[in-house]
């Protein structure tokens, strides 16, 4: 029986290691690409929402007169989103989206007190578009979070953890509900 040279084992081991590294790297790139793709969908839906908000605010302002604080909060949150997007700060965008959710909720709760506003066709059309956009935002967030979780698990699970550290793949941030989001916004007309 012929003895197998030790160099064959070393070459075989090196080949397996190289194949594993290539496979791990490609898998991480694919997972990261899916996260980026889903984030683009979140941004698209938020941009749609951002584009609708000035029309909604103008319609509400034209038909109702109530505290400017709500309008200011909506406008500031919209600006924070745009600023975070311009510098590609995903964490800042997630925080700004939470502020926008809160401000928009206050606006919509406030609107309920103005039946004459709800009767205008322009307002109803905008609310229908906004409702559809909110559903798209929720779906895009869910899909993004699923992609992030899959990617983060891949970067934390052994042996993928080794490849992630070797190639510099960092964990991504999920889109979590803002603290207090479980409570309905309170609107006080006594001010």
pLDDT, one tens digit per residue, over 67-122 is: 566 677 777 887 887 888 777 778 888 888 888 787 777 777 766 666 665 556 66
Residue 178 domain flag: no
Q: Is 65 left (phi over 0), alpha (psi -120 to 50) or beta?
A: beta
On whether residue 62 sits in a domain, the answer given is yes
Residue 99, in any domain of the structure: yes
Q: Count CA atoms closer than 13 A to 42's CA, side-chain side.
A: 26
Does some domain include residue 187?
Answer: no
Residues of the domain holding 31 = 20-167
| CATH number of domain containing 74 | 1.20.1440.20
Residue 127 lies in a domain: yes
Low-confidence ranges of the chain (pLDDT < 50): 184-185, 187-191
The predicted model scores a pTM of 0.62
Total number of domains constituting the chain: 1
């Amino acid at each position: 029986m012929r003895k197998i040279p030790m160099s064959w084992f070393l070459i075989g081991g090196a080949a397996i290691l190289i194949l594993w590294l290539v496979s791990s790297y490609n898998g991480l790139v694919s997972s990261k690409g899916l996260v980026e793709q889903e984030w683009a969908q979140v941004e698209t839906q938020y941009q749609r929402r951002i584009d609708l908000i000035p029309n909604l605010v103008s319609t509400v302002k034209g038909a109702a007169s109530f505290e400017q604080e709500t309008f200011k909060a909506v406008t500031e949150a919209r600006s924070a989103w745009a600023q975070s997007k311009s510098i590609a700060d995903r964490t800042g965008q997630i925080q700004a989206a939470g502020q926008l959710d809160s401000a928009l909720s206050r606006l919509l709760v406030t609107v309920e007190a103005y039946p004459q506003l709800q009767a205008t066709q322009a307002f109803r059309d905008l609310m229908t578009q906004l409702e559809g956009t909110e559903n798209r935002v929720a779906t895009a967030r869910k899909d993004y979070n699923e992609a992030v979780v899959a990617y983060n698990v891949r970067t934390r699970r052994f042996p993928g953890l080794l490849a992630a550290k070797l190639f510099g793949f960092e964990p991504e941030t999920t889109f979590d509900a803002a603290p207090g989001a479980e409570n309905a916004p309170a609107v006080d007309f006594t001010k």
